[in-house]
């Protein structure tokens, strides 16, 4: 299955907030019942999937949540918001030249993540969400946005995953609560490996629960290794705010 086919399975919506629009796609569990509470997973796409077509954000990852064995073993509400072309999931000083991916010590106001926060609240209002099992993760720009969304909401998420992302190490103190899985290819020539390594070191210094995976000989598409790892989703959905 590819993302074109995934479009048929993922429902679509548009969040309107503060004179902005946030397109999103979402997948409900099979046989969804409002009498049962479900985990909520927010998936943040990379820079190449920005836009307003409410489709491109499904390019990477969506098909994995449609596998019959995944849907039966891990019933959850999975949401793919789409960042506009001019937007960015993370607050970054520079994304070009010698200061590529220079991060703020304290992330700035981010209207696009405000939309994601509003989207989470809307899903909590309209569906039965297990508030102890809200997860967030993403790849590349979405990995950077994952760090920042957790920074903005340090007590909301039970687990988070950041694939080939990065953030300012000084933010790590506010990122201690969720369990983390961080992945990066050692041949990544788009987002340098050192950006993830610095975050892993900073999180470990702040006694966070971190699983760190370096993928040897892999470039920027290290998400393929994550999606093909049979331990990824069991790890993610095993975490709850109720457990240490």
CA 125 from chain centre, in angstroms, equals 21
Return the pLDDT at 56.
95
Sequence-distant (6+) residues with CB within 8 A of 189 are 219, 220
Nearest-angstrom CA–CA distance, 206 and 171:
10
Q: Which of 81, 80, 67, 77 is nearest to 28 (CA)?
A: 77
Each residue's pLDDT tens digit, 65-120:
998 999 999 999 999 999 999 999 999 876 654 457 889 999 989 999 999 999 99
What the chain holds in terms of domains, given with CATH numbers, is 3-94+101-237 (3.40.50.1820)
Inform me whether the pLDDT recorded for 153 exceeds 90: yes
- Residues of the chain above pLDDT 70, percent: 96
Q: Is the pTM of this model over 0.75?
A: yes
Instruction: State the average pLDDT over residues 215-230.
Output: 96
Tell whether the model's pLDDT for residue 5 goes beyond 80.
Answer: no
């Amino acid at each position: 299955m590819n993302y074109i086919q995934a479009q048929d399975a993922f429902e679509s919506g548009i969040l309107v907030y503060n004179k902005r629009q946030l397109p999103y796609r979402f997948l409900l569990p099979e046989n969804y019942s409002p009498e049962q509470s479900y985990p909520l997973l927010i998936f943040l796409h990379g820079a190449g999937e920005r836009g307003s077509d409410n489709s491109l954000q499904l390019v990477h990852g969506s098909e994995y949540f449609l596998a019959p064995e995944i849907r039966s073993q891990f019933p959850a509400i999975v949401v793919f918001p789409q960042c506009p072309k001019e937007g960015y999931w993370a607050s970054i000083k520079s994304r070009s030249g010698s200061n590529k991916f220079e991060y703020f010590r304290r992330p700035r106001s981010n209207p696009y993540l405000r939309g994601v926060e509003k989207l989470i609240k809307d899903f909590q209002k309209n569906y039965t969400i297990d508030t102890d099992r809200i997860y967030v993760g993403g790849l590349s720009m979405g990995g950077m946005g994952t760090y920042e969304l957790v920074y903005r909401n340090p007590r909301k998420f039970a687990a988070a995953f950041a694939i080939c992302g990065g953030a300012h190490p000084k933010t790590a103190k506010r990122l201690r609560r969720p369990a983390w899985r961080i992945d990066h290819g050692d041949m990544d020539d788009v987002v340098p490996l050192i950006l993830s390594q610095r975050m892993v070191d900073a999180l470990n210094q702040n006694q966070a629960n971190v699983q760190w995976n370096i993928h040897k000989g892999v470039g920027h598409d290290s998400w393929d290794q994550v999606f093909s790892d049979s331990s990824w989703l069991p790890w993610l959905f095993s975490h709850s705010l109720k457990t240490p």
